[in-house]
Structure 1
Amino acid sequence: MMAAGVNSWGLVAGAVVLSLGAGQRTAIYFSMQADPVDYGVWKTGINTAGILTSINGFLGKVAMAGAGAITGVLLSSGGYIANQAQSDGAMLAIKACYLYIPALLIVASMLWIGRFYRLDDQYEQIRADLDAGRRAPSDTSSVAGENHAL
């Protein structure tokens, strides 16, 4: 492969590093899911945890199906033939599926989150307001002193 060549130990070490990173990403991803729910409750008073969870599950399945389809198309277009020595095109397709595309998507997601995810800036205030039974300060529809139990 590109990073390890034919060095089996290099491939194993790379897989361990990848797994450690994937574990961290998973933990961060699922902990971040609660933040938009809290923000929605804070802004609207409506708890959308169920719909968020179901949409997340659905999109995960769509992404897995798409990844399988893309992998099949790339391997097929690269000339992959099972149980045979692979051509240069097939090796490039394998490297693209295993290394290039995942690296590109990881960098893109890091840039996207870095650019657009801003709940951390105000999450302490959101949490304090929700714990006190208050909604967003810009909300004028609530009656003064009304307790918005969650």
Structure 2
Amino acid sequence: MELTGSLRDRLDGVALSAHLATAVDDRPHVAPVWFVLDDGSDALWLFTGGRKLDNLRRNPRVALSVESADRAGNVDWQATLLGTARVVDDPERAAWVDRRLSETYGMNGDDAGAEADATGKGAVADDAGSDGADGEGALVRVDVRTATLTAF
């Protein structure tokens, strides 16, 4: 399944928390993230740091799990996306992602990159790790290869 039709409609512009799974040396790591879909391709964008960033630099294969549930915890649907992640050094794209995260998650545009980690603590708080000298999350593109959607 591609990021088209029903799945794209469910993910695009909706404030959903997701869990990004990375793995290095047979050690999985799962952590919450916020994301936005790319316009026109089967990709998504996020800012991240700490262990997630270190892991995806060593092994770019990732999984993203997303679900929609009501406040009582009743799940309406869930999706699993498998893909390849890469760090992107593109200030214009970073500004675009920052704006989209701000619009989607209701954040202050000046803070979106630093707070785009769904923990609410900011990207640099991931596992007491740091993402680099600038103290803000690195921009990451995930090219989705396969996606599954289950509606309940």
TM range (shorter): under 0.3
Greater relative contact order (CA < 8 Å, ≥ 6 in sequence): 2
After TM superposition, the score normalised by the length of structure 1 is 0.23
Greater strand share, 1 or 2?
2
Greater helix share, 1 or 2?
1
